Amino acid sequence: MNRKSFQAIASLSFVLILILDARAQSRQMSYPNMAPIDQYLVTDRNAEIALARSAAPEAISRDAKIMVLGRHGYETAVDGKNGFVCVVERAWMSPFDSPQFWNPKLRGAVCLNPPAARSVFPITLMRTEMALAGRTRAQIMDGTKTAFDKGELPPLEPGGMAYMMSKEAYLTDAGDHNVAHLMFYTPSLDGAVWGADMPNSPVMLNQQFKGAQPIDVFIVPVGRWSDGTAAPVM
């Protein structure tokens, strides 16, 4: 997948970026409404556990808490020991203006480190519960913003990051559907502080929480999958 294709992904925590020019956006399929819930579920629970674990190297994910999606939200499938949480995000974790916000094919395997598990993952849980309850994307954005402003969601902890290195993830309809990368969560700031989206910079800014929480996500592609094999480099 080339850089332009990856930048056209509206991540997940699925997971990913909305820096679309008009031509890229016109080529991308749009999903204006939520599909039937069954299309977002994985019928084989063990397959979803395996996909969630594949987000990070085995040395990390083997002791992580694993959660799988049920009809009303995420459920604990495996208790963890190291503070990491591995989960398969769905398309409603994309930026709110993403054309793929309701894409039922998206499967964003992500493994969040302890600070992100404590302070970012609660947003994932809330957005997911609201999506499955039939809320619109505008209602999800407004609902999570209100919850954050009222202190019902935790503030961002320093040092939050996540692994998205699964070879089996499906992050976009474009290209080869996937790219191995790391994500770093920061308070909202100018992407230039990280050199994001500048010529030949590997760092990209994903405004996954724009309009709801003052959190930015910086993405850095890596050249290998979680099993150690080589991954395409943009």
**What whole-number distance in Å separates Cα of residue 33 and Cα of residue 149?**
27
pLDDT at 234: 66
**What whole-number distance in Å separates Cα of residue 63 and Cα of residue 4?**
35
**What whole-number distance in Å separates Cα of residue 179 and Cα of residue 194?**
20
Q: What is the mean pLDDT of residues 127-153?
A: 98
Q: Please write the tens of the pLDDT for every residue from 78-122.
A: 999 999 999 999 999 999 999 999 999 999 999 999 999 999 999
Q: Residue 86: CB partners within 8 Å, gap ≥ 6?
A: 52, 53, 55, 56, 61, 64, 65, 66, 67, 109, 110, 111, 112
Q: Please write the tens of the pLDDT for every residue from 170-201.
A: 999 988 899 999 999 999 999 999 999 999 99
pLDDT at 69: 98
**What whole-number distance in Å separates Cα of residue 213 and Cα of residue 206?**
13
Residue 19 token pair: 């820096």
pLDDT at 209 over 70: yes
34 near 207, Cβ under 8 Å? no
Please tell me the pTM assigned to this model.
Answer: 0.88
